Chain A
Amino acid sequence: MGPELALGLPAVGAVLAAALRRRPAVALAGGGLLGLAGAVVLALLAVPQAQSSLLGLNLPAAPRALLLLTALALAVMVALAPPQADRVGLLAAGLAGMAGLAAVAAAPDVLAVAVVVAVLAAGHAALPGGQPFPTRMRAPGLAVALLLAGALLQHAGDAPVFARLAALSLVLSLVAAAGLVPFLPELDPEEPAPASPVAWTGFFGPALAIALVARMQPTIGADGVPVYGSLLVGLGVLNLAWGTVGAWRADGDVAAWRYSFLADWGLALVGLGMVVPDGYAAAYLVLASVLLVRFPLYLWARPVLLNRAPAAMGPANVLLAAALAGAAPFAGFSVRVLLLRAATQVYWPLALVLGLGMLIWLAHSFRLARTLGAPAGRSAVGVVLALGFSLLLGLAPAVLLALGGL
């Protein structure tokens, strides 16, 4: 019953936290304990005996490890959230997301993923936010329709055209599900962090993408692989360019942050599209760094982004800028080595394009780092932790890759 528990415990935790909203300490303790129990079960699923499931579910190693990181990121964000933040709301939304992501990871095929994405996205879009529900549901709704189309086309016949169109639908569904270009949702800078599209792309997106790819890739036939790869690479480069240039030229800092997520996702899509182990490993590390570094930092930047604290550029901010720019020895080092190595294996001019993108990347990192202000108290601990995670991903990526079975 391991997978069921991994899915159910955070779900119960989310309900409990939401129900006990008026008593924050109890809500945090109860929800936190159930979330922790869910994470422990997730970790125990590495043991084959714990994987037996009543409903025939199984959690593969790669999404499971990323789910564990999602739990870790959630714990850090709730424990070290800025003082003004609604921590109970954050925990409830995060635990619900954890449960949804566990369901996505345990989903046996792409249709099951579509069901979970529909419910999860609707739950997220229903959170109080600046944009109306239908606007926020569009990209994930399209993802559901595309997953359905992809699955139908996979069973439509033996003609190569079906395989190619199925690959097209599935790739676009991944991009739409994550909320990337060309399915970019509207952004409201004043929107609460848990309800914003940045939270969807930065917190739910990584585990969702890895789970979806784990289900999608093995089912794409030989005719579909070229379409799958080239489309992912093309969309990856598009997101990389859009994200880096956008973050550099954006009018507002919130928009700059959002674009920076796109840039990261661009690298991840390119890594996934190259369909070689190095590329996949790079994508995995990028998504892990989105979860553990970029998204928590975005949360800690919220007080400055909402004009409740002044921006600053101290030595810690410069170090953060270097980490966000992908410089050594942070996560960017291992990601860049793996990506450039993979690109050289597949098609060397791609490495040149990626290199250029990585260079333009520098332009926005200082801008983002400024928005962390002068971290103090809980935020300072959070910033140190984020830098520590980034350092770990840069210097010892093998640990995470082994955890994900790569």
Chain B
Amino acid sequence: MVLGAAALLIWFAGAAGLRVGRPLAAAAGWLALASICLLWLPRRSLAEWSGPSLIPGARLILRLDAVSFAFALCVLIPAALLLTFQRRGWRESGAAALTVAAALLAVLADGILSTSLFWGTAATLLLVQLRADHLRATEVYWPALVAGWLALVWAGGALDVLSGTAVYTAVPVTAMTSALFLLILAAAMLGSGVLPWRPWTAEVWDRPRLYVGSLAVALLFPIGFYVLVRAYGADGGRWPSPWLNVLVGALAVLIALTSALRAQAATTRRQFLSEALPGLGGFALLALAVGTATGITAAVATLLTAAVVAALLPLLPEAAESRAAPLLLALLVGAPPAATFAARALVVQSGIEAGGGWGFLALAAALAWLLSFAAAARAGRLPAVGRGTEAGGSAAGAGVAALVLLAGGPLLGWLVAQVCLPATAEVVTVPPGAVAGGSIAVLTAAGAWPAVALGLPLLVLVLLPLLGGRSPRVAAAVEAPPPLLSPVWARPQARIWNRVRALRVPEQYRSLFNPRALEAAMGRGQPLLWAVLLLALAVAVNR
């Protein structure tokens, strides 16, 4: 309501000549974040708001529980940061505030159909903003989002048919079949832009300006994961079949690896940065696939980290080299003590802890992590932006986001205790001693992990050179080394695509597939054509 009202206020004020869009939208973002914290944290009890009937048999109900609170944070933290530090006109600020409201409602929705409504609404509003700014990447963004959205709508409709409800917490265990889960998975992967090939979340970085694309990534990225987490709750704490966990785990590793490979072969720093979120998405997906309490906790922690990263990436200043740039690049790919390190470490730990084949998948993910370090080392020497793009960013905004990211590592124990573990407990049973978070450590079955003890000294070590050091020489002037692994996959990919595009119906058969000739025959009302059609149908229906 705060965000919606802000959008209206911004537009009315703007129409009246009062340009207060950006501060008002920023204030609304922070106020919404504060409101959701105030609503949830003191009481930590379930709250529901019932709305009107959407379609026959589906009512709009909003639900604030531990899961929706965690994901609301994933939406609102980057949104508030971006609305505060990115430059937007009053029209764009109003639209952005409204979009944040829609994305927030998507993760507060209690059923698949309601989520799909608000998710689709956010995607539509973002499309308008993206197209108003520039065409580039919308041709990837829109089909992916609509395909994902349709898959989710179908899944919701099918659940409704099979069990009489598509409400996450009311779906009977037997209703969630493997086929339905695959639909949800497809929706999540397409919508969140977590795919083994270059997804829309990376493509939007090719746009000349980042202020809309980055908002799209920040807002839509968590929603797909929200549905996947809820799928655990809808199916009694597990996905419909163990092989689905294995499939998703393998896919997740593939995503993390391909993302890291693309990142280390990037030609500009933006290209490198564009792979940060898909890579983290792969880690989050792997943790979710593990399916243990530690795994889901790690996934939520990774998503919270990804939310901060989504805000930090577009705020990194691109115009001039800052002395913090190499350090920030290292922190982004998971150097300690940042939250990116802590979250990734927890994911790998959850995989190894699960045993069996999961350990191998965790190791493969760790390999992707290592590759991204190579990518970060190289990215420091890459030009900041490519041709036809405008340098952007905000030093102050990047500073705030980086501090949050840095603080996230040492505070991981607290975060696990306050946000991640309650969300996990909402969807699966947490065995005693499986995972816990204290003020100084993360406790798992494999042992305690002293986040504060490890993180705080490192944090001091990181901040010291920043505060007192001299500015480094401009690294981008030095030519970047070749990629560790050259992108051999690009050429065959292009060749296959060209071959597909070159496919034609042979000349002698073209008349058989000529819709225009058929249409002309229809339009002229050839009685013979219609008589043959009627006869053929009459025979067909009586066979």
The answer on a CB contact under 8 Å between A327 and B123 is yes
The answer on a CB contact under 8 Å between A168 and B541 is yes
Contact size range, B: 35 or more
Which one of A168, A172, A181, A341 lies within 8 Å of B157 (CB-CB)? A341
The answer on a CB contact under 8 Å between B154 and A351 is yes
Most buried by B among A187, A246, A351: A351
Which of B383-391, B400-408, B492-500, B519-527 forms part of the interface with chain A? B519-527
Q: Measured between C-beta atoms, what is the minimum distance from A153 to chain B in Å?
A: 11
Q: Which B residues touch A181, using CB under 8 A?
A: 522
Which of A80-88, A300-308, A310-318, A373-381 forms part of the interface with chain B? A310-318
Most buried by A among B157, B515, B534, B542: B157
Q: Which A residues touch B146, using CB under 8 A?
A: 325, 327, 358-359, 362
Q: Which A residues touch B151, using CB under 8 A?
A: 355
Q: Which of A163-203 contact B (CB under 8 A)?
A: 164-165, 167-168, 172, 181-187
B120 interface contact, C-beta 8 A: yes
B147 interface contact, C-beta 8 A: yes
A344 interface contact, C-beta 8 A: yes
Which of B61-69, B124-132, B294-302, B429-437 forms part of the interface with chain A? B124-132
Q: Measured between C-beta atoms, what is the minimum distance from B133 to chain A in Å?
A: 10
B15 interface contact, C-beta 8 A: no
The answer on a CB contact under 8 Å between B54 and A328 is no
Q: Which B residues touch A50, using CB under 8 A?
A: none
In the complex, what residue of chain A is closest to B157 when comparing beta carbons? A341
Q: Which B residues touch A355, using CB under 8 A?
A: 150-151, 154
The answer on a CB contact under 8 Å between B117 and A329 is yes
Q: Measured between C-beta atoms, what is the minimum distance from B408 to chain A in Å?
A: 33
A139 interface contact, C-beta 8 A: yes
Q: Measured between C-beta atoms, what is the minimum distance from A331 to chain B in Å?
A: 12
A72 interface contact, C-beta 8 A: no
Give the complex CA separation of A227 and B541 in angstroms: 6
Which one of B153, B523, B533 lies within 8 Å of A184 (CB-CB)? B523
The answer on a CB contact under 8 Å between B55 and A397 is yes
The answer on a CB contact under 8 Å between A315 and B128 is yes
Q: Which B residues touch A139, using CB under 8 A?
A: 525
The answer on a CB contact under 8 Å between A186 and B542 is no
Contact size range, A: 35 or more
B537 interface contact, C-beta 8 A: yes
The answer on a CB contact under 8 Å between B519 and A184 is yes
The answer on a CB contact under 8 Å between B131 and A313 is yes
B160 interface contact, C-beta 8 A: yes
The answer on a CB contact under 8 Å between B537 and A172 is yes
Q: Measured between C-beta atoms, what is the minimum distance from B514 to chain A in Å?
A: 12
The answer on a CB contact under 8 Å between B538 and A327 is no
The answer on a CB contact under 8 Å between B54 and A341 is no
Give the complex CA separation of A142 and B523 in angstroms: 13
Which one of A135, A327, A358, A401 lies within 8 Å of B120 (CB-CB)? A327
Most buried by B among A330, A333, A395: A333
Q: Measured between C-beta atoms, what is the minimum distance from B125 to chain A in Å?
A: 9
B161 interface contact, C-beta 8 A: yes
B53 interface contact, C-beta 8 A: yes
B475 interface contact, C-beta 8 A: no
Q: Which A residues touch B121, using CB under 8 A?
A: 328-329
Which one of A168, A333, A344 lies within 8 Å of B538 (CB-CB)? A168
Which one of A186, A315, A325, A336 lies within 8 Å of B523 (CB-CB)? A186
B382 interface contact, C-beta 8 A: no
Q: Which of A343-374 contact B (CB under 8 A)?
A: 344-345, 348, 351, 355, 358-359, 362
Contact with A along B499-541 (1 / 0, CB 8 A): 0000000000000000100011011110001100110011001
The answer on a CB contact under 8 Å between B56 and A329 is no
The answer on a CB contact under 8 Å between B161 and A315 is no
Q: Which A residues touch B118, using CB under 8 A?
A: 328
B158 interface contact, C-beta 8 A: yes
The answer on a CB contact under 8 Å between B523 and A242 is no
Quick one: given A315-B131, A398-B53, are A328 and B541 in contact (CB under 8 Å)?
Answer: no
Q: Which B residues touch A152, using CB under 8 A?
A: none
Which one of B124, B525, B534, B537 lies within 8 Å of A138 (CB-CB)? B525
Q: Measured between C-beta atoms, what is the minimum distance from A259 to chain B in Å?
A: 10
A289 interface contact, C-beta 8 A: no
The answer on a CB contact under 8 Å between A315 and B132 is yes
The answer on a CB contact under 8 Å between B542 and A344 is no
Q: Which B residues touch A344, using CB under 8 A?
A: 154, 157-158, 161
Quick one: given A318-B131, A329-B121, A341-B160, are A186 and B153 in contact (CB under 8 Å)?
Answer: no
A334 interface contact, C-beta 8 A: yes
A102 interface contact, C-beta 8 A: no
Q: Which of B70-119 contact A (CB under 8 A)?
A: 113, 116-119
Quick one: given A246-B515, A313-B131, A328-B124, are A340 and B143 in contact (CB under 8 Å)?
Answer: no
Q: Which B residues touch A330, using CB under 8 A?
A: 124
Give the complex CA separation of A341 and B163 in angstroms: 12
Q: Which B residues touch A7, using CB under 8 A?
A: none
B52 interface contact, C-beta 8 A: yes
B142 interface contact, C-beta 8 A: yes
A281 interface contact, C-beta 8 A: yes
Which one of B116, B119, B541 lies within 8 Å of A231 (CB-CB)? B541
Which one of A168, A246, A318 lies within 8 Å of B132 (CB-CB)? A318
A322 interface contact, C-beta 8 A: yes
B345 interface contact, C-beta 8 A: no
Q: Which B residues touch A182, using CB under 8 A?
A: 522, 529-530, 533
Which one of B53, B123, B538 lies within 8 Å of A165 (CB-CB)? B538
Quick one: given A351-B154, A359-B146, are A328 and B120 in contact (CB under 8 Å)?
Answer: yes
Q: Measured between C-beta atoms, what is the minimum distance from A353 to chain B in Å?
A: 12
In the complex, what residue of chain B is closest to A180 when comparing beta carbons? B522
Contact with B along A224-267 (1 / 0, CB 8 A): 00010001000000000010011000000000000000000000
A119 interface contact, C-beta 8 A: no
The answer on a CB contact under 8 Å between A333 and B53 is no
Quick one: given A161-B542, A355-B154, are A329 and B124 in contact (CB under 8 Å)?
Answer: yes
Q: Which A residues touch B515, using CB under 8 A?
A: 242, 245-246
Q: Which B residues touch A231, using CB under 8 A?
A: 537, 541
In the complex, what residue of chain A is closest to B523 when comparing beta carbons? A186
A396 interface contact, C-beta 8 A: yes
Taking beta carbons and an 8 Å cutoff, which residues of A are in contact with B?
Answer: 135, 138-139, 142, 161, 164-165, 167-168, 172, 181-187, 227, 231, 242, 245-246, 277-278, 281, 313-315, 318-319, 322, 325, 327-330, 333-334, 336-338, 340-341, 344-345, 348, 351, 355, 358-359, 362, 395-398, 401
Q: Which 9 A-B pairs have the closest CB atoms?
A: A328-B120, A186-B523, A138-B525, A341-B157, A318-B131, A340-B157, A184-B522, A344-B158, A322-B124
16 A-B pairs besides A186-B524, A338-B157, A351-B157 with CB distance below 8 A are A138-B525, A165-B541, A184-B519, A315-B128, A318-B127, A322-B124, A328-B118, A328-B120, A334-B54, A337-B113, A337-B116, A337-B156, A358-B146, A396-B52, A397-B54, A398-B56
